[in-house]
Amino acid sequence: MRQRLAKLTSDILNPFLVSFIIIILLALESTPRPIDALKWAVVSLALSVLPVFTVVIYLVRRRMIDGIFVNTRQQRTGIYGLASALGAIGCGVLWYFGAPRVLLSAFTAGLSAMVVFMVINLFWKISLHTAFMAASVTILTIVYGAAGALAILLLALVAWARLERKMHSPGQVAAGALLAAGIVAGVFRCFGIIG
């Protein structure tokens, strides 16, 4: 029963879905009109989550990687590279077209995290599930205050699930969460969103 709950938690609160939701929330929060939110959400998703997810699905179907969440460290390098390249392009596009600052900050934090995690991945596996959730909790706390901070409960659940499924060590889970939260806080501070 615990394994099934841990798998369900990992499957639902995965990096792709968490990123998708955060992008939509940030687009809605940072624009005055729903049509503008839709525009920024579509552009942001088209430059990040959707192409990476599409490539991962393709690689899984071709049996070039083990699964959607790329659990084998050596198989992650190309995905990190793709996500980093798309993040750089996305940051450029969002900056050029005047995206809301909070969305550009989140994209910049995502790019920074991908580059850091790509380097770490050369010698150690880090938990992307906890990293994406911790980054999301940090963003939600910055944007929504105490209400957003309640998402910390989801981070604890994801960390438990990754440990329960034996996908990561406690150090890999903690490192993913702490690095991601620190990167988000640092980037948002550089953008002047937090003091």
* Nearest alpha carbon to residue 188 among 138, 118, 114: 138
Report residue 52 as tokens: 């990476």
Query: pTM of the full predicted structure?
Result: 0.94
Overall average pLDDT of the 105-112 stretch: 97
- Cβ atoms of 177 and 127 within 8 Å: the answer is yes
CA separation for the pair 3, 64 (Å, rounded): 26
Confidence (pLDDT) at 70: 83
Within a domain: 75: yes
DSSP category for residue 100: -
pLDDT band at 195 (very low <50, low <70, confident <90, very high): confident
Overall average pLDDT of the 171-176 stretch: 98
- Cβ atoms of 138 and 179 within 8 Å: the answer is no
Measured on CA atoms in the order 51, 54, 58, 60, is the torsion positive or negative? positive
Number of domains in the chain: 1
CA separation for the pair 5, 119 (Å, rounded): 32
By residue range, what is the domain housing residue 165? 2-190
- Cβ atoms of 173 and 167 within 8 Å: the answer is no
Confidence (pLDDT) at 67: 85
Percent residues over pLDDT 70 in the chain: 100
Within a domain: 195: no
CA distances (Å), origin 45, targets 70, 103, 163: 20, 11, 29
Digit-coded pLDDT (tens) for 120-150: 999 999 999 999 999 999 999 999 999 999 9
Confidence (pLDDT) at 40: 98
Within a domain: 125: yes
What is the rounded average pLDDT for all residues in the chain? Answer: 96
Position 69 pLDDT exceeds 80: yes
- Cβ atoms of 183 and 109 within 8 Å: the answer is yes
pLDDT band at 188 (very low <50, low <70, confident <90, very high): very high
| 69 contact partners, CB below 8 Å, separation of at least 6 | 10, 14, 15, 128, 129
* Nearest alpha carbon to residue 26 among 38, 14, 16, 17: 38
Count the Cβ atoms, other than its own, within 10 Å of residue 148.
17
